[in-house]
Structure 1
């Protein structure tokens, strides 16, 4: 009773195939792979954004709550 035999696993497999269908399981795996790729791409995009720097001209100042102000 403590361990599962091959027949238990075969019955579970048949039930899973009946519930999801033959074509649905590969479709679910494909969707999962797309999600993982999208997540990795998003993480790589964050690294690129972190490396960008903001350049300011020497004659510009930024006041709190206001746009850039040029000293001319």
Structure 2
């Protein structure tokens, strides 16, 4: 059974676009992009700027 050809993937993407509509796929892409952007920003956040509740109680 080997790998799928480019034509197979083109048909799969065409069927998905017909089922869900291009606007829904575009919205899904925007949501995914904003989630990745938020995740990257949280990784790059300065750890000193956030307060740890356990340190405040001690």
Q: TM-score, normalised by structure 1?
A: 0.50
Alignment match, 2:41: 41
Give RMSD over aligned pairs: 2.6
Indicate the structure with greater helix content.
Answer: 2
Using the size of structure 2 for normalisation, the TM-score is: 0.58
**What does 1:1-72 correspond to in 2, within 5 Å?**
1-49=1-49
Q: Offset at 1:46?
A: 4.5
Find runs of 4+ consecutive structure 1 residues off by over 4 angstroms. none
Q: Give the secondary-structure state (helix, strand or coil) at the position aligned to 2:15.
A: helix
Q: Which runs of 5 or more structure 1 residues have no equivalent in the other structure?
A: 53-63, 65-72
Q: For 1:16-40, what per-residue CA distance to the aligned partner results, in whole angstroms no more than 9, with x for missing partners?
A: 1122211111211111111111112
Indicate the structure (1 or 2) with the bigger Cα radius of gyration. Answer: 1
The count of corresponding residues between Structure 1 and Structure 2 is: 52
Larger strand fraction of residues: 1
